[in-house]
Amino acid sequence: MTGGRASPPPLHTERFSDGVVFLFFLSVFLLCYASALFTTYGFLDDYPFLVRALRGELSFGQVIAGGRLTYAALLDLSLSWMRGTGDLCYLRFFGVVGMAWGALNFYRALLRQRWTAIESVLVALVVFTLPSFQVSAAWAIVAFYVYGVLASGGACVVLERAMAHPHAQGRWGLMLAAFILQVVAITIHQSAAMFFWVFAALRLGEAEILFREVWQRLSWYGLFMGASLFCGFAIQRLGMFFYGLSGLSSARSTLTVDWGGKIVCFLHEPLRNALGGFWLFPSTGVSLAVALVIGGGLGLYFHGGVAERLGRGLILLLLLPLSYAPNLVIAENWASYRTISALAALVVVYGFFALHGYQRVLRRFFPVPVALVTLSGCALVAMGLATYNVHTRFATLQFRELEFVRTQIARADLSQVSSVFIIGLLSPYWQNNLGPIAHYDEFDLPSSARDWAPRNMAFLMLREMKPEYATLPITRAPPEDVVVPPPNALVIDMREHFRDYFVGR
Q: Where are the domains of the chain?
A: 18-390, 412-504
CA 180 to CA 232: how far, in whole Å?
11
* Positions of the chain with pLDDT lower than 50, given as ranges: 1-11, 428-435, 503-504
pLDDT of res. 304: 85
CA 198 to CA 378: how far, in whole Å?
19
**H or E element that contains 63:** helix 61-65
pLDDT of res. 357: 93
CA angle, 379 then 381 then 383, to 5°: 65
**Cα–Cα distances in Å, from 352 out to 295, 317, 357, 370, 375?**
12, 15, 9, 11, 8
Q: Phi, psi at residue 276, to the nearest 5°?
A: -75, -10
What digits encode the pLDDT tens for the residues 350-376? 999 999 999 988 888 877 788 899 999
Q: How would you write 271-328 as a 3-class SS string? A: HHHHHCCCCCCCCHHHHHHHHHHHHHHHHHHCCCCHHHHHHHHHHHHHHHHHCCHHHH
CA 45 to CA 427: how far, in whole Å?
15
What digits encode the pLDDT tens for the residues 17-27? 889 999 999 99
pLDDT of res. 7: 40
pLDDT of res. 95: 96
DSSP 255: B
CA 196 to CA 323: how far, in whole Å?
8
pLDDT of res. 110: 95
pLDDT of res. 481: 61
Instruction: Give the pTM.
Output: 0.90
pLDDT of res. 500: 63
Strand 474-477 and strand 489-493: the pairing is unpaired
pLDDT of res. 493: 87
Cβ atoms 401, 456 nearer than 8 A: no
